Structure 1
Amino acid sequence: MTPKSRLLPLFLLSFFSLFLYSYYHSSLHLFAPETLHFNGNPTNTPSSYFNHLGNPSSVPPNFTFIIKVLAFDRFDSLSRCLRSLANADYGHDRVHLHVFIDHFKEVDLRNGSEVLSKKLEESSRILDFVDGFSWRFGEKFVHYRTGNVGLQAQWLEAWWPSSDDEFAFVVEDDLEVSPLYYEFLKTLIANYYYNSSNFHPSIYGASLQRPRFVAGKHGNKLQLGSETRLFLYQLVGTWGQLLFPKPWKEFRLWYDEHKAKNIKPVLQGMVTTGWYKKMGERIWTPWFIKFIHSRSYFNIYTNFLRERALSVSHRDAGVNYGKTAGPDSYLLDARSLDLNFLEMLPLSNLKWYDFCFREVIPERTVRSFDELDPVLKSVQKENTIILLSIFGASQIITRNMLCHFERLDIRNYILLGPESEFLLDLARRGHPVVNVQQLLNGVGGYKSMGSQGSYAQLIREILAMAYVIKKCLDSHYSSWVIDGNMVPVSADAFSIANEPSYDFFSARDSGLMFLRSSATATNIWIDDFIFKVAQTAKASMEDNSLSRERRHFVYFASESLQVNGVRIKKINELIFGLKIFSNYTSQTSLGDEKKIIFWPYEMELNYLQKALRSLGMWVVDGDSSCVAVVCHLS
């Protein structure tokens, strides 16, 4: 072989190595989060990164997974926990282990020297074991506290995310995990955090424990079909909980504010509130539960059947158990694998459940008439639908109304409002909403009504309400129209006496109206009539002849019906309900006969809150969330 022929393979190898090196570094530059561009704008959001990669099983290079082990004085529990973590399959990933060891409580040396010696010996034994424990997958960090802080501080002080790509998997020392747990969690993160088509801001993490507890008093039984592998449930799971970075930061700041103001995490109607009243600051979960209730956040859970889970609590004696109760579930591992545990359905296919284990349907936002029909069908009850206009109502008044809907188990409603962050947030929380501006884009002649000027919003409200009513009548649904200046007192607030000679009932000045489904009502409520209602409103607004109290849909609809010779049954507000006037004096009883509380549209908010509070009808807290969880069996 000539010298040149001997050098040829070496030259080819060098050229190929140079090509791989160049390709690798150009790929790193291309995929670096700080250099990603979408629609001409730079971004470093996790979902944007996923879209750029286009690979549902991938995570970005700066993805960080940290295991947070919370330990105290249970050597056998901790050793079992750490060994199960070390036996898991991490592939070629770098995974960090942080062990937090709480200190034992102070011992009275006057009569406890022997106890103190045993505790010191046990602490030394645990520390020696942790120091010598081999963790070959990433960094090992040990935090040994100088004083006893308890379980609450162990959880809350274990983590402050350093980036939006850092995730914490928190395990207490009496847990045992499956060798499959990490592969499952990484796949879940890739699919439901980095995949923008599956990402949802309401999801705060995932629990690996077997779901077995409904926190709302008198809630539904926790029953799932055998085909369900993943679902969303509000309750946090402390036996192997994955935490997403942003919601956890949000919670920590919320906790700091509430703790500093001495606001307790009391949520009426929850079993966990009883735990807090009994154990106080020894536990942390009531704080997190109150937070996720105020934000309407959800957790991903698994359902692997036959009481199996990827994380098992041995329920050893400690803060939560006076004596050891044994494993709560059976560990799912490769030997017992009889299903595709990595199957991740699209988020739109998963079911969501609240604290009562009642199904929640988020993101029901109607933007077109084609989207309206299925939503109306889904909310109607006994062929009746409540149409609530939130135009002009403050956010907190609307939330108070919705809390009363929950209290009374009123679920056949849909909210109509202007395009806003508030409307989107209501939809995110599971309330069905109509985006009025987008809905009216499909209405011929809408622009001819004049979409500008001081009365434009009123015209939009009137047209949207009128067209939604038309859809209801065409679908053979009766409808109630209500405004934000009222609140229901009783469960039968939106029922009407059986007077078949009337199809329309109205409390004209208060914004309350009932339209019975009938052929007569359907024949009246046509496009021409709808535009007459809008024209009446426009004319009144242009000459400024109408007081604020009458600038609402019900007034103009009632006027137009009367002009057309339609008989309307008047609803007497003072008999049907209680009306709060400016000279209202505090009272403590509504009386059994009252169905609705009314008040003037421009009543000052603080005065209204005081009046409703004196009647027991102000049911929102400082977070503008319901003070109670009320479960009604489905």
Structure 2
Amino acid sequence: MAIKRGSGLGFYTLLLIVSISVLLIFSVYSISHLYPSTPIIPNFKKLEKSSTDFTLTIKILTYDRLASLSRCLRSLSAAQYDQNVVNLHIYIDHFKFSEKDENLDKKLNDSKRILDFVDGFEWKFGEKMVHYRTGNVGLQAQWLEAWWPVSDHEFVFVVEDDIELSPLYYRFLKGLIVNYYYNVTNSSPSIYGASLQRPRFVPGKHGNKIHLNKETQVFLYQLVGTWGQLLFPRPWKEFRLWYDAHKTKGMKPILDGMVTTGWYKKMGDKIWTPWFIKFIHARGYFNIYTNFLHETSLSVSHRDAGVNYGKTAGPDSNLIQEDSSESKFLKLEPLRNLKWYDFCFREIIPDRIVKSVHELGPVLKSAQQANGLVLVSIDQTSETFTRNLLCHFERLNVRNYVFMGPDSDFLLDLSRRGHPVINVDRFFDSIKKYISIKFSKEIIVKAYVIKKALEMKYDMWVWDRNILPVKADLFLGSVKLDSAADFYVGNRIGLLFARSSGTGIWTESFVNEIARLAESNMGEYETSIGVLAGKLLERKGGTLKRFDEAEFSVDINVGNDFKTSLKNDTSFALWSSDTGLDLVRNRLGSLGLWIIDAESHCTAVICHPS
């Protein structure tokens, strides 16, 4: 645009308009970046662990116990930090008050005494920060609001004020972080931190007592420990987002079968642990614990009177000192050597995933019970139905199962949580002799797994899909089948039972014939190995017995005649592949067989003592 000389007013007016326009555009851009329309949720999938230059901050949670706080701080300052920088943050909750409170002056003086003590306390190992609240928020907020990780290399160690620490606690924590967090070959996404308290409590009702041999010094256990808890950054951030979503929507941390649920129903949001336990149960995460002789530990709770104890109960353990016989523990075992325990203190074995022929035998051996196995295909089955099936396995104490399915994140997650799985795609690739057969991958893998199980003298049930156990008797051998037959095949869905005595028939040539038959019948019998095996066995004169699954099952496909009750002899529910998922879910629900919540997690923890 041309501007005539001498028209200064027009020039400056134009300049002002352009400037305002630029400012408005920049403001809109800035606001859209600060407050995007879609919430930004951190990506928890990719975790870089390339640096050991991490920070550790101690978070002390205190209220009105000056003597307890003094003892805690003295023990922390006496610890060995080996010239590392360790920060100290002290969170002081405010006392409760009202205008009618006659003890306000005393409470104010007590608070000032605590503040004076904290102000005068020297912390020479790093930054000291004091957060004095303006109102009483309680123990739950003290924990949940103490930390939001700013990086994947920031760790916190949370202690309540009645905790006393061993002089060696930091060296041990540092060793855990270096060995089990930063060592990529020795770490696991299932670990959320470490507790230094002595393990004493099993939250699952009727669970096993904690029993560990003296050689076990470090193990993994799902339960969070509040008496000295190290927290890893990413799981804690994940929990905080989960908590916000559930608390905002009015959900409760109810998990049937857990003692902690009773605590929550009695104390409500005075405590935070039921929320974290519910989260851990949903995610399948674990905590590192220690086990030392003579009831010793690196962290001791004096169980002073407060929120958790009406009156002082005294120390729960004996504190490990630097010169004690228990101090020689800094050598940490590889993660693969450690034992893992769930909320029932029942051992689980994570990462049992079969990807090749030579890995099959050890996994089958670890999964079988009483020389019996259940092989379950999850191909073309929704994750929701598989999770509901797992809840029934837990309810029935069926633990001799192996899942098989295509390569997927879900299959990997099942393995991470302790369920044995077979990666069909990878396993098939390892069987070079069948590589030319392109369309019956799952059938071939099933046939090979059955062959291996029979060779190992294991009986095996094989489920294709669309079946849910109601009782465990049929699959655990309580229901006696005709011993004259080596194989049983159901007439309706091809449910297959193979007895170990049939190993002479189920040979490698038999597997080859099944593969060829599967390829020639592609579409009709693509995934029904029971139907295929039945056809071959009849041709070969094998000891085969057919049965009607209706003798043991309830069919939820039945329309208006569907009964919302189960017979005493019902062992499983079944339905056809073309039945709508909503109908299946509703009918399982009417039978009391839909036992997962809206997020596809078991509604209960059910313990079966060993």
Q: Same fold (TM over 0.5)?
A: yes
- In structure 2, the partner of 1:524 is 505
- 1:398 Cα offset (Å): 0.8
Specify the alignment match of 1:288 in structure 2: 276
Aligned residues: 564
Q: Which residue of 2 aligns with 1:472?
A: 453
Q: Deviations over 1:104-134 (max 9, x none)?
A: 1123x33x22x11111111111111111211
Q: How does 1:438-449 map to 2 (within 5 A)?
A: 438-449=426-437
2:558 maps to 1:558: no
Tell me how far apart the structure 2 counterparts of residues 585 and 438 of structure 1 sit (CA, whole Å).
44
| Change in CA separation of 1:511 and 1:259 when aligned onto 2, cut-off 3 Å | farther
Distance apart, 1:602 and its partner CA: 2.5
Q: How much does 1:610 deviate?
A: 1.0
Do the aligned partners of residues 580 and 98 (structure 1) sit closer, same or farther apart at CA in structure 2, a change above 3 Å counting?
same
Shift of residue 473, structure 1, vs aligned partner: 1.2
2:369 to 378, 381, 384: 381
The residue type equivalent to 2:415 in the other structure is A
Query: How does 1:442-591 map onto structure 2 within 5 Å?
Result: 442-450=430-438, 456=439, 459-494=440-475, 495=477, 496-518=479-501, 521-541=502-522, 546=524, 551-581=527-557, 583=559, 587-591=563-567
Contact 1:398 1:484 in 2 (8 A): no
Equivalent of 2:243 in 233, 255, 271? 255
Q: What is the SS of the residue equivalent to 2:185?
A: coil
* Offset at residue 587 of structure 1 (A): 4.4
Whether 1:64 aligns to 2:55 is yes
The 3 A distance-change label for structure 1 pair 179 and 580 is same
**8 Å Cα contact 2:450-2:460 kept in structure 1:** yes
- Residue 420 (structure 1) shift: 0.9
Q: Which amino acid aligns with 2:446?
A: M
Residue deviations 1:16-57 (CA, integer Å, cap 9, x gap): xxxxxxxxxxxxxxxxxxxxxxxxxxx9955334xxxxxxxx
**Aligned partner of residue 426 in structure 2, secondary structure:** helix
Map residues 219-298 of structure 1 onto 2, 5 A cutoff: 219-298=207-286
Q: Find the aligned partners of 2:443 and 2:110 in 1 and give their Cα distance.
A: 73
Q: 1:610 aligns with which of 567, 586, 589?
A: 586
Give the 3-state SS of the residue equivalent to 2:267 in structure 1. helix
CA contact (8 A) 1:302 1:309 kept: yes
Q: CA deviation at 1:588?
A: 4.0
Tell me what 1:168 maps to. Answer: 156
Q: Who is 1:628 aligned against?
A: 604
Q: Distance in 2 between matches of 1:105 and 1:513?
A: 66
How many angstroms apart in 2 are the aligned matches of 1:608 and 1:533?
A: 31
Q: Is the 8 A contact 2:164 2:299 kept in 1?
A: yes
Q: Supply the distance in 2 between the matched residues of 1:325 and 1:228 (Cα, whole angstroms).
A: 28
Matches within 5 A, 1:30-41: none
CA contact (8 A) 2:194 2:229 kept: yes
The 5 Å alignment of 1:119-158 reads 119-158=107-146
Deviations 1:147-170 (A, max 9, x none): 111111110000000100000000
Query: Secondary structure at 2:114's aligned position in 1?
Result: helix
Contact kept in structure 1, 2:375 and 2:461, CA below 8 Å: yes
Residue 138 (structure 1) shift: 1.0
Q: Does 1:83 align with 2:82?
A: no
| Alpha-carbon distance, 1:183 to partner | 1.0
Moved more, 561-570 or 345-354: 561-570
| C-alpha separation in 2, matches of 1:551 and 1:193 | 42
Q: Give 1:53's aligned residue.
A: none
Superposition deviation, residue 551 in structure 1: 4.5
Quote how far apart the aligned CAs of 1:384 are.
1.2
What is the identity, as a one-letter code, of the residue corresponding to 1:47? K
1:106 aligns with 2:93: no
CA shift for structure 1 position 435: 1.2
CA contact (8 A) 2:321 2:327 kept: no
SS of 1:216 mapped into structure 2: coil
Q: TM-score, normalised by structure 1?
A: 0.86
Match of 1:342 among 316, 321, 330: 330
Q: Aligned partners of 2:560 and 2:92: how far apart in 1?
A: 59
How far apart in 1 are the matches of 2:541 and 2:216? 56
Give the whole-Å Cα distance in 2 for the aligned partners of 1:586 and 1:476: 40
Three-state SS of the structure 2 residue aligned to 1:387 is strand
User: Partners in 1 of 2:499 and 2:327 — Cα distance?
Assistant: 52
Partner of 1:4: none
Residues 486-516 of structure 1: CA deviation (Å, up to 9, x unaligned)? 1111120313434122111111432411111
Partner Cα separation in structure 1 for residue 494 and residue 106 of structure 2: 73
C-alpha contact 2:59 2:146 (8 A) present in aligned 1: yes
Over 3 Å counting, the alpha-carbon distance change for 1:473 and 1:74 in structure 2 is same
2-structure distance, mates of 1:45, 1:287? 25
Secondary structure of residue in 2 paired with 1:610: helix
Q: CA deviation at 1:278?
A: 0.7
> For 1:356, what is the secondary structure of its paired residue?
coil
Amino acid at match of 2:334: P
Shift of 1:622: 2.5
Matching of residues 290-309 of structure 1 within 5 Å: 290-309=278-297
- Tell me which amino acid in the other structure corresponds to 1:505: Y
CA distance in 2 between counterparts of 1:80 and 1:587 reads 65
Task: Answer yes or no: is the 8 Å Cα contact 2:464–2:527 preserved in 1.
Answer: no
For 1:457-484, what per-residue CA distance to the aligned partner results, in whole angstroms no more than 9, with x for missing partners? xx11100000000001111111100133
CA contact 2:196–2:299 (8 Å) conserved in 1: yes
CA contact under 8 A between 1:506 and 1:514: conserved in structure 2? Answer: yes
Q: Describe the SS at the equivalent of 1:300.
A: strand
For 1:587 and 1:537, locate their aligned partners in 2 and report how far apart those are by CA, in whole Å. 36
Tell me which amino acid in the other structure corresponds to 2:435: K
Which secondary structure does the structure 2 equivalent of 1:334 belong to?
Answer: coil
Partner Cα separation in structure 2 for residue 98 and residue 205 of structure 1: 19
- Are the aligned partners of 2:320 and 2:327 in contact in 1 as well (CA < 8 Å)? no
- The amino acid across from 2:462 in the alignment is V
- Asked if the contact 1:461/1:553 (under 8 Å) is kept, the reply is no
Q: Which range moved further: 490-499 or 620-629? A: 490-499
Contact persistence 1:587–1:614 (CA under 8 A): no
Partner of 1:32: none
Code of the residue aligned with 1:622 in structure 2: it is: A
The amino acid of 2:470's aligned partner reads V
Task: Give the distance between the partners of 1:477 and 1:569, measured in 2 at CA.
Answer: 19
Q: Which among 351, 365, 371 is matched to residue 353 of structure 2? A: 365
Tell me, in whole angstroms, the C-alpha distance in 2 between the residues paired with 1:602 and 1:106. 64
